[in-house]
Amino acid sequence: MEFTGATSAIRSVYSIGITILQIIAAQLDFDDDFSDLIEEADAEEIARRPDPRVPANGPDLETLKKLSAMAAASVQRFSKRIQVMPLLRQAREAASTLSTSEVPALKSEVERMAAELRRLRLAEEKAAELAAALTKRCELCFDEVSVEQVGSLMCPNEHLICSDCSPDMVRNFLERIGASDTMLDDHSSRGGLIPCVRHNPAFQPQCSRHYTDQSLARALPDEIFVGYRAAQDDVTENRIWHQHNQRFQEEVSRMQRQLEGEQATKREEVRAVVVDL
């Protein structure tokens, strides 16, 4: 069976079957003969290839047959494979036929296999938790998508827009600020940054964060990102113009006050001269 890293009860049964086969044959290596045993999954054939140290007609022949049947049932094709509980019942039946000296050894092996099964189930649960942590719901279409999905967009508060929704969201936002002076003013006050989609009052709670240039560059097609940067450049140029215009108006006001002050001084001087005359 090809190893995929995924775990489940039915895959754990397969691992137990391989372990039983290795015990019966006293073999760890997966050579061609051992692979054939796994592929054929034939209980009688498995029973004919036991550890050479096991007597052919000894008192444990019945146990060998039951263990061979367990191994064969455990390595069957996925759809025909035995379930966990029937396998454990067969293990108890096999244990009942053992000689007194072998019971502790098999009990130890069963306990080891049970511990391994618990470990595999715990690993499966942790893998599921990790997968859930790496998955978020798109704030627009509500699909569950991976946070590592190419083209997805996420604000610093981890509100995610999937790759299908992010281009249209940014395109529509840029069109709206081009058609509304109010939105353009708001956009300018943010320095040309695009707010998180949850900045909209329709979302509760709202988010006050903005998408970074880096996240937009990764998520958007080139033509949309170029449009975003062009709008951002317009905002920058507009802000610079307003700053220069404000400074100009302040300088004009200062010069006007200075001129008025000088004129007032001259009038006072003239008035003083007239009085002296």
pLDDT in tens, the chain (277 residues): 444 545 577 778 888 888 888 888 777 777 777 888 788 878 888 877 776 666 666 556 777 788 888 888 888 887 788 887 887 787 777 766 655 555 566 667 677 877 887 888 888 888 878 777 788 889 999 998 888 888 889 999 989 999 999 999 999 998 888 788 787 778 778 888 899 999 988 888 899 999 998 999 988 999 999 888 888 777 666 666 777 778 888 888 888 888 888 888 888 877 877 776 6
pLDDT at 277: 62
Sign of CA dihedral 176, 179, 183, 188: positive
Question: Residue 153 is inside which H or E element, if any?
Answer: strand 153-154
DSSP-assigned beta bridge partners for residue 146: 135
Instruction: Read off the pTM.
Output: 0.42
The answer to whether 196 touches 211, Cβ cutoff 8 Å, is yes
Cβ atoms within 10 A of the Cβ of 251, count?
10
pLDDT at 121: 84
pLDDT at 1: 43
CA 109 to chain CA centroid, Å, is 38
**Closest residue by Cα to residue 104 from 90, 20, 58, 112:** 112
